[in-house]
A and B are shown apart, each in its own frame.
Chain A
């Protein structure tokens, strides 16, 4: 344009390479590809999430111009900038994130693009990869398998547990401890070997557990509801994982406007089903009536199944769920993530009034929990990284019957 306006050929010579370069880059990119093989895993523990991996391109020559970008799940925060290193025809990466609370997050596979060095042409990978699942639970869940669950199967004892205990089917012999009860000593084996040997048994496990996540909106607002639901989802998946490991049957239900249920089952397939269901659990825009939850639950699950309800107890509607579930024959325990921990810490009141407001909030929360206790045992989950309260409650013998369900 400048050349025509000024009747000067010089700007044309400046424009010529700039006009030719995109075409040249597009043509030169035809032989390149961003298709690759991805090997990655989560190596972190506890609150730390460390995702390391390797992108191995199909054509080694393309590795130098592969640009790898990552999408961090909203539940995780960035602890350090991502490290991407091109080395020996591969691209290795290390992502250091953190989880501020228990979470189950799907990390989308990194976006791998071959970009021309001048940045004028690019090719995206055509092959799709599976996401990486990052799971972070309170460590107490590892001990949850010892909890006694209500039997709902007609023939108990069909499913042996992996746990070794004092009763059940004979499993093997071991050295007796000094405090071993005499009835557990295998006297014949002891006489044969010449030292005290004790029997070990494979504990029978046919108990069932139903996990219901209350995904209805509350007056706390969308952001806090989302956060509480995220913590509940993680806890639900962690509890399910712990019981499935013990060969118990686990069912899952999400209640928003309607009840969406995964029927009771066990094994690896059920673990995958539950993981999918937990990931699909999002906050419902409309709150369904509590009775609908109980009626629908009865269609999917037998009465008497040990039930864990995850709800914030922030609204009146939350309180109605427990009596309705009990009326339909479900012995319920409530795990209630405290909204006080999820609320933003920005002071909105005067400095001297703020502590008073916080104290009032705590009192109100205690009142709500106490009110819910009238219908079922409630664990006020304040420290999201500890589920000691839940574990000790479930390990109490026959707690469900004592509550009158």
Chain B
């Protein structure tokens, strides 16, 4: 037996619609870059996103659990069909981050889940942007790549720690004040 939140206000519906539209929009750009048939890629995106949204609205908990599979299959299909390039890599990363935003807006839970998921999504987005920046800006030799990877891990660990334990910043401020 699962919980049923009886309050779905207009504002809640608006937030949820925003997340789904953003996901669909991000996914719809990708077929234009695909080397495969554009119509086929478009079909994959529309079917994947529609299946995900439909299953998430289902009353069956098992079906709700498998709802993310649709968008994931769509994005997997697009990832292998898009040619390598800075723009396509960035777009794909952003699309997956938007998928996380969509995941956070579960219609069975309290609205504005995407806002509450900002720490999680921000870390995932930061990782993507740093990885993409390293790939595009840094010269393709082994040594800078290692430095970039180490920096990436260090920054991600630091940001994660600060998000999880915000009192650490306050403690430092208090120590500085005294």
The 5 A-B residue pairs with the shortest CB-CB distance, nearest first, are A24-B123, A117-B113, A117-B117, A84-B3, A27-B160
- At the interface, yes or no: B24 with Cβ under 8 Å from chain A? no
Since A11-B80, A28-B160 are in contact, a sample of 4 more A-B pairs with Cβ atoms closer than 8 Å, ordered by chain A residue number, is: A14-B95, A17-B128, A82-B4, A117-B113
Other-chain residue from B3, B7, B96, B166 in contact with A17 (beta carbon distance below 8 A): B96
Contact B3 A14 (CB under 8 A): no
Chain B interface residues toward A at CB < 8 A: 1-7, 75-76, 78-80, 82-85, 88-90, 92-93, 95-97, 99-100, 103-106, 109-110, 112-114, 116-117, 119-125, 127-128, 131-132, 135, 156, 160-161, 163-166
CA distance A31 to B117 in the complex (A): 14
CA distance A82 to B121 in the complex (A): 31
Query: With A2-B79, A27-B163 in contact, is A116–B131 under 8 Å at CB?
Result: no
- At the interface, yes or no: A189 with Cβ under 8 Å from chain B? no
CA distance A70 to B95 in the complex (A): 36
Chain A interface residues toward B at CB < 8 A: 2, 6, 8-14, 16-18, 20-21, 23-25, 27-31, 64-65, 67-72, 78, 81-86, 93, 115-120
Other-chain residue from A31, A69, A83, A117 in contact with B109 (beta carbon distance below 8 A): A117
Query: With A65-B116, A83-B6 in contact, is A117–B79 under 8 Å at CB?
Result: no
Of the listed residues A6, A67, A72, the one surrounded by the most CB atoms of chain B closer than 10 A to its CB is A67
Other-chain residue from B80, B100, B165 in contact with A30 (beta carbon distance below 8 A): B165
Query: With A30-B164, A118-B120 in contact, is A14–B92 under 8 Å at CB?
Result: yes
Other-chain residue from A24, A68, A71, A83 in contact with B120 (beta carbon distance below 8 A): A24
Contact B120 A8 (CB under 8 A): no
Other-chain residue from B89, B90, B92, B121 in contact with A118 (beta carbon distance below 8 A): B121
Residues of B within 8 A of A65 (CB): 109-110, 113, 116
Give the distance to chain A from B59, nearest Cβ to Cβ, in Å.
10
Residues of B within 8 A of A8 (CB): 80, 84
Other-chain residue from A14, A72, A82, A118 in contact with B96 (beta carbon distance below 8 A): A14
12 A-B residue pairs with Cβ-Cβ distance under 8 Å, sorted by A, are A13-B96, A17-B96, A20-B124, A24-B121, A28-B160, A64-B110, A65-B110, A82-B3, A85-B6, A118-B104, A118-B113, A118-B120
Contact B89 A13 (CB under 8 A): yes
- Measured CB to CB, the nearest residue on chain A to B95 is A14
Of the listed residues A6, A69, A85, A117, the one surrounded by the most CB atoms of chain B closer than 10 A to its CB is A117
Give the distance to chain A from B160, nearest Cβ to Cβ, in Å.
4
Query: With A31-B165, A117-B120, A118-B121 in contact, is A84–B97 under 8 Å at CB?
Result: no
Residues of B within 8 A of A20 (CB): 123-124, 127-128, 156
Of the listed residues B84, B117, B156, B163, the one surrounded by the most CB atoms of chain A closer than 10 A to its CB is B117
Residues of B within 8 A of A85 (CB): 5-7
CA distance A85 to B1 in the complex (A): 15
Contact A68 B3 (CB under 8 A): yes
Residues of A within 8 A of B85 (CB): 10
Of the listed residues B82, B99, B123, B135, the one surrounded by the most CB atoms of chain A closer than 10 A to its CB is B123
Residues of B within 8 A of A83 (CB): 4, 6
Residues of A within 8 A of B80 (CB): 2, 6, 8, 10-11
Give the distance to chain A from B109, nearest Cβ to Cβ, in Å.
7
